[in-house]
Structure 1
């Protein structure tokens, strides 16, 4: 899920129903020991639907609130992911082999800290994040080009440990300056969490502010560092340009979401058809029945449901006219289902 792709889908949706927009989005927060004890039930009641929590910094510092945030957010029903604050500036000799070992040491410490959570609850926690906010600066690495090469190599070495032990790549968190100046172009293959504080979730960063990700777009966006929500102030606020179904692609472990299961109960049946029917042509943030991921509820989403439910059983239902939606009923009890 990248912002430009969602934006494109919104434009395409105008060709289907005039006035429809793909404005689905989720509100998230990121926390650390700076927030002390977070009340995640209050966060849930305030509309928070995902989060990130600091786990480690360098190789010597654990966040004192990490375990509490991971456990209590899950208890509140909020998917959360861990992040590591990297210290790529700590290698004494950046041009030597200590560069690689420095990154490996930090990544190893990070994975040791977070892996038990993924193992205990597969399919619940979001992918890990590498927070990049530090640059090397000494006699050997002091130009932008040297820092770019050094930092990019450090990120790749860090990620190699995460990928080997967890099976996923990290999400890179950085600001526009880093995205534009301090990463080699090949790092655009990583998912991006961009820090760009506009203090308005309706004013996203432009492509030019995404640096090497200008074509790919962002996955998460931190739009404020001074929010007030759920009893916490100040608080970092984040935007995810998609639905809860879209967010599932960032979860680690567990089964992938079942196509056509629009109500999320693990079964593709008539209830999912009803969910699709009831959101047909609506202009709201509920795109859970957007099976073909084009940013609008349309007949293509019925086709996705039908392909997974069974074309023969679905054919009798047809594609309703928008004006006749309320007249259409489905006998759920008489229909079969496709289960995992």
Structure 2
């Protein structure tokens, strides 16, 4: 899964929060419950069009094995309010750092969820079984995430037609919904969203858009999370990391957590 200044130490920007791309109240970006602004950076800042990610108040990360060792205490104190952690891919690959990250994020009291990278040469049922075998059914976890994007895979160059994509992805998410008791969030990219008419799905979305506000790249699409850079820098993590925002105010974030983390 794939702007900011060098240091996000003191954020004085007025923020226009947008739950589902709508309007909201103004205020500095804060980590819920911490009272201090995020301290992030970006190794390749972008000139934003249509809205700035810093106009949102609740920020988080998504990670995989490539982040290496993480100081979760520093991550939390830097202003990270949530983390999505790669768990599985296809029907036979598990991220070797998932279990460790899952435990360490919980110890740091950072809300966290697991995501699955969908593979087009395995059935949705096979992939759901693999995810369930690797991700605990745990009260208080964020909803599982289904990562849908086109990939240049040497082992699976297959690009199925849209009807097949939607059929197998629906099987996957329905199985996870029954097992975990929460509807999975759909993570996707602009090209995949358009190619497969994902706007027709009545699902909760996490949208990747690293060159413009989602209201421009996904016109009319409601969303809960926006991945706005793959080159973020966060204290406690060496190298680049994906940065995200929740599309709402701190109060809306608390309400979302209360609803989705039952």
Q: Aligning the two structures, in what range does the TM-score lie when normalised by the shorter sequence? A: 0.7 to 0.9
RMSD, aligned CA = 2.6
The corresponding residue for 2:204 is 191
TM-score, normalised by the number of residues in structure 2: 0.72
Secondary structure at the counterpart of residue 169 of structure 2: helix
1:205 lines up with 2:214 in the alignment: yes
Q: What is the alpha-carbon distance in structure 1 between the residues aligned to residue 135 and residue 178 of structure 2?
A: 14
The corresponding residue for 1:42 is 74
Q: Is the 8 A contact 1:49 1:79 kept in 2?
A: yes
Change beyond 3 A, Cα 1:206–1:219? same
Q: What do residues 219-272 of structure 1 show as CA deviations (whole Å, max 9, x unaligned)?
A: 101101011112321111111122444334256543xxxxxxxxxxxxxxxxxx
Instruction: Mark the runs of 5 or more structure 1 residues left unpaired by the alignment.
Output: 12-22, 92-101, 255-340
The corresponding residue for 2:192 is 178
Q: What is the alpha-carbon distance in structure 2 between the residues aligned to residue 24 and residue 222 of structure 1?
A: 12
The corresponding residue for 1:31 is 63
TM-score, normalised by the number of residues in structure 1: 0.56
The corresponding residue for 2:121 is 90
Change beyond 3 A, Cα 1:8–1:155? same
The corresponding residue for 2:134 is 113
The corresponding residue for 1:8 is 23
1:130 lines up with 2:151 in the alignment: no
Shift of 1:183: 3.0
Secondary structure at the counterpart of residue 136 of structure 2: helix
Instruction: Mark the runs of 5 or more structure 2 residues left unpaired by the alignment.
Output: 1-16, 27-54
Q: What is the alpha-carbon distance in structure 1 between the residues aligned to residue 236 and residue 209 of structure 2?
A: 23
Q: What is the alpha-carbon distance in structure 2 between the residues aligned to residue 134 and residue 5 of structure 1?
A: 24
Q: Is the 8 A contact 1:4 1:216 kept in 2?
A: no
Change beyond 3 A, Cα 1:59–1:5? closer
